[in-house]
Every structure is written in C-alpha cells, then in structure tokens.
Structure 1
Amino acid sequence: MRDRADRVIGLIFVAPPVLGAMILGFVPFGLVLWYSLHEWSPLIGTFDFVGPANFVRLAQDRVIMSALGVTAAFAGMLLVLNVTIALTLANLLNTKLAGIVVFRTLYFSPVVVSIVAWTIVWQFLLAGNGGINGVLAMIGIEGPNWLRHPVLALVSVVVVQVFKGVGMNMILFLAALQNVPSELKEAARLDGAGRWRVFRHVTLPLLTPTLLMVGIITMTGALDVFAPIQILTDGGPGTSTTVISYYVYQVAFGRQQFGYASAIGIVLFLITLGLTALQWTSRKRWVVDEI
C-alpha cells in the first residue's frame, strides 16, 4: 500500500514537467510538421495538402542554401569567440583581489539587459556616422559602414551577440574553475610544471564537462538568433546575414507562406538536434570527470 502511495506521489511531482513538455513542445512540433505538408496562406485563406512538396522545394531554393552557409559561419564564429573570451575572462577573474566582484558584475550585466535594447544601442554605435566611426575619426581613421558591408555586417552581428551572452558562460567557467582541487595544481607545480602546463594538463581537463555544456548552449542559441539580425541588418546586405532562423521569419511573415516556412523550421530543428547529438555522443572522447 505504501509503495502504491509513493508511486502516486512520484507521478504527481513528475506530471507538471511532463505535461509542460507535451503542451509546449510536442504539440507545437506536431502542428509544425502538419503545417509543413500544406500550402498555407492565411491572407488568401488557402490550406491545401501538398505532401512533401515543400521539402522538395527546399532543394531548389538558392536562398536556403545561402542561409545554410551563413548560419554555419555565424555559429562557428560565435562558438569560438564566446567560449574563448568567456574562458579567458573566467581565468582573469578567478582571483581574490579587492574589487574583483565589481568586474564580475560588469562583465555579467549585459546578460540581464533586454536583447532588443542591447541591439539598438549597438545599432547607433555601428552606424556609418555612429560612435565607433566617431572614435576612429578622432585618430584620423575613416571607419567603414559596418552594417552595409557583406562580411563586416556578419562579423558585427557576431560581436554584438558575443558581448551579450559571454557573461553567462564566464560565470559557468568561473564556477568550474573554483571547483578545481588546489591540491592537484600544487602537485603539478611541485613537479616543475609552469602555469601554462598546469592549465593545459590539470585545469582544462576538469573544465571539459562545463565546456560541453557551454558548447551546446551557445550552439543552440546561435541557430535560433533573431533580434540582432532583424534590428541591425534585416538579413542584408543582400542575404549576407540571412541565417535559417531569420529566413523562416521572412518566408512566413513576409511572403505569408506558412507551410513552406514550417518545412524550413523542421530542417532547422533537425540540424539543431543533429549538432547537439554529435556534441553529446562525442563527449566520451574528450570530456573527463577526473584526472
């Protein structure tokens, strides 16, 4: 009788997250999959079943092919810069100097700022006559039009996104650094290891679980970026900053082709799932829990 009561209590506690996942996850995904099999345009009131035609259309869409390349470049740059800067800042802030808490707060503060407000500020800074070019002009350098150059526009969006989210990853790395046993580092120093070798062979291996988590979070965040691109470049110039997630928005709300947009969304989901699964399955090769 007691075992049955324990099972009931367990089900009661488990039910909210399970129901939440079903209502907010599985049901919308099922609807998107259903919509992707239709030609749906709310403005003219069409909802016609077309089967896999929308997915066949993907192979002939030049913009989606370009968006795949832009998405790969954006996600790659964001992942490398975010992880590198976050880990560097965490190492610099992993000290007991007076006032270090102030710097930790300053570096983390962009995380709690609205992404829209953050991007609008950067829009003023990156404009042709904005703050960055104003500073460059003071030292005799004529700055470019950052948001109207195909390469610089993409790099600018990456930088804006990096500075927005690097504080969170910095805190994660900082917490991991503070959990590294000091005895291991001291033993390595006694064996003659320098600062770099201690970090490379002692600290870094123990950071790999956090590195895996940060990598997954950063990668999935890079694949669904929206606000910075819409505010800064609107996917331009041309399609140089049109990532897949923003192309879904353009197709759905710009062209009113919700069925085709749903098909693109399914592809984006599969890409995100595949990359996450790849990172997770490869963890046994490089993630270590202890030395």
Structure 2
Amino acid sequence: MSVTYSRIKRRKAIYGYLFIAPIMLGFLFFMAGPIVGAFGISFTDYSLLKPSSFVGLDNYRHVFAQDDTFWVTVKNTLYFSAGLIPLNLTLALALALLLSSKLRGMGLFRTAIFTPVVTSVIIWAIVWKYIFATDAGLVNQVLHFFGIKGPAWLYNKHLAMPVVIVTSVLKKVGMNMVIFLAALQDVPKMYYEAATLDGASKWKQFTKITLPMISPSLFLTLIITLIGSLKVFSQIVVMTGGGPGTSTSVLVYYIYKLAFKNYQLGYASAVAFILFFLVLALTLVQWSLRKRWVHHEE
C-alpha cells in the first residue's frame, strides 16, 4: 500500500514539474540568465567597437565620482516621480470616488478613463506630441483663439518635463482608478451609516473611514506607480528625446543611449544595476514604513 502511494505521489510530482517546466525554462533563459549576464558585463569594459576587458568596480566608481550626466538623469528621474505619483494617485482616487456612485452612464465614463491604459504608449505619446506642438498643436491653437501666444512646450527646458508628467498621468490613471474602485466597494456601508448618525461630516468620513479602509490598495498603487515612474522611457524617447538639452533625460533613457548609441554596454549595465538597487531600496523603505499607515492588515 505504501509503495503504491509513494509511486502515485512521485508521478504527481513529475507531472507537476512538467507543467511548470515551460514557464521555468522561459524565466531562466529570458529573465534570470540575461540578468546574471548583464551583472557580469557591468564589471567589464564591454563594447561592440573593441575587445572587452575586465575592469572590476571601475564602472561603478566612474558613475558616482566622474559622471555628471548620471546625476542629472537621477535628478530628472526623481523630478518625474515626484510630479507623477501625487498627481496620479490623487486624480485616480478622486475619479474612483466620483465614479463609485451607481448612476446611469457611469460604466461609460469608467471605460473612457480606462481606455488609455490599454492604448499603446508610443501612439499615446505621438498624439500628445502633436497636441503640444508649437505651431499647429491643439493646445496652442486654443490659446491663440483667446489671443494668447502659446509657448514651445516641448522645446522649453522648464515646460517639457511637466508636459511629459501630465501626459503620463492621463495615460496610467485609469489603472489606479480601477484598483481604488474595487477597494471602495469593499468598504462596509454600515461604517458610513454609523458615522452619519454620529454627525460626522463627509470629510471626516473620508479621512477616518475611507482612507484607512482602502490603505492597502493605496499602498499597492503607490509601489506600482513609483516603480513605473522610475522606469519611464517611451514617452521621453517619442516626445522630447531627452531634450531640450538634458532637461528630460532620465535614467532608462541614459542607459539606452549608453548601450545602443555609444555602444558602452559594460558601463550601461552598471548604470542599469544602480537603477535596480535604487528601485529596490525605495520599495524596501516603503515596505518597512507600511505598518505606520496601512491598516486592515492581517
């Protein structure tokens, strides 16, 4: 009996490993392998134009001690994140509160707001690049109608990044809105009824009931939005090309230029892993602070 049971158990284990084998092989060959390979390359002077050589930590030393462009891109990346995250989360929560009511036509509005999420980011960026065009752009045409001369939005170092931030917010806000909608629907209505009987104002109900109850979802969206903002690339390439000057050059775009324009693959890999550790550090900081404001956790 025990021998038969052991044989059946072994057969089930084999079947299980066979079922997960394709995804595991894909992960090893297309994710884990390239990541390990790139980490090794980051310690070399690897270039398509000359033979590679091992340089140890020289790439990392050069990044922190001598590469002024790297620090500019870090500043721009953090600027983008600092602008995008509060705008995205605030707008997403406001839309979720507005669209959580069961009025006629709310489904249509939810679909319209979510549609940009499934739209190609390249197409989205191209459309908004033309909307903010200097001469024939829709924004400047509207301003011209009111007798206002519109600026060169994407060619002004003070305006280019805010434009990219706004277009990125409009692109991604629908995803966070859906998450907040689901969270709002799980808040028990009896809490609001009790608060109303006690004379609590709408603002008091929002700060004392809604926010604490949806804080796990808020924490999730915060991490997702932060990681996404640090990896911004397509909008920069299409709309500004990192310009004017280096005013919109972010870390991922800088890595792309180093690797595929300057062919400094070893140095680009070092910068890429610095970005990885930056994302990891910020995520761990948020994770360690979650118990101070995230409620309703088991």
TM-score interval, smaller chain: over 0.9
SS of equivalent residue, structure 1 residue 37: coil
User: In structure 2, do the counterparts of structure 1 residues 13 and 184 end up closer, same or farther at CA, with 3 Å as the change threshold?
Assistant: farther
Q: Which runs of 5+ in 2 are unaligned?
A: 1-5
Deviation at residue 202 of structure 1 after TM alignment: 0.6
Q: Choose from 144, 148, 153 the match for 1:141.
A: 148
Aligned-partner residue type, residue 53 of structure 2: D
Give how far 1:190 is off. Answer: 1.0
Distance 1:208 1:15, change over 3 A: farther
Which of these residues, 223, 230, 234, is aligned with residue 223 of structure 1? 230
Q: Which residue of 2 aligns with 1:30?
A: 36
Alignment-derived partner of residue 161 in structure 2: 154
Q: Which consecutive unaligned segments of at least 5 residues does structure 1 have?
A: none
Q: Which of residues 219, 235, 253 is equivalent to 2:242?
A: 235
Q: Secondary structure at the match of 1:283?
A: helix
Mapped pair 1:119 → 2:121 = no
Deviation of residue 155 (structure 1)?
0.4
Sort the Cα spacing of 1:189 and 1:15 in 2 relative to 1 into closer, same or farther, 3 A: farther
Q: Distance in 1 between matches of 2:263 and 2:21?
A: 37
Aligned-pair distance for 1:4? 4.8
Among candidates 278, 285, 288, match of residue 278 of structure 1? 285
Once residues 102 and 11 of structure 1 are traced to their aligned partners in structure 2, the CA distance between those partners, rounded to angstroms, is 44
What's the secondary structure of 1:147's corresponding residue?
helix
1:54 match: 59
Secondary structure of the structure 1 residue equivalent to 2:71: helix
Which residue of 99, 110, 120 corresponds with 1:104?
110
Q: CA deviation at 1:25?
A: 2.8
Q: Against the structure 1 CA distance between its residues 186 and 286, is the aligned structure 2 distance closer, same or farther, given a 3 Å change threshold?
A: same
- Between structure 1 and structure 2, the one with the greater Rg is 2
Q: Distance in 1 between matches of 2:190 and 2:21?
A: 44
Runs of 4+ more than 3 Å apart: 2-24
Q: Which 10-residue stretch deviates more, 154-163 or 5-14?
A: 5-14
8 Å contact kept, 1:206–1:290: no
Q: Contact 2:216 / 2:297 at 8 angstroms: preserved in 1? A: no
d(CA) in 2 for partners of 1:215, 1:28: 28
Q: Which residue of 2 aligns with 1:85?
A: 91
How many equivalent pairs are there? 290
Aligned-pair identity (%):
44
Q: Give the aligned residue type for 2:182.
A: A
Residues 62-92 of structure 1 deviation map (CA, whole Å, 9 limit, x = unaligned): 0001111111110111111100000000000
Residues 129-156 of structure 1 show CA distances to partners (whole Å, capped at 9, x for unaligned) of: 1110000110111111111111210001
Q: CA RMSD in A?
A: 1.7
Instruction: State the distance in 2 between where 1:210 and 1:8 align.
Output: 38
Give the CA deviation at 1:256: 1.0
Shift of 1:8: 4.7
Pairing 1:64–2:56 present: no
Equivalents in 2 of 1:199, 1:180: separation in Å?
11
TM-score of the superposed pair, with normalisation by structure 2 = 0.93
Determine if contact 2:131/2:138 at 8 Å carries over to the other structure.
Answer: yes
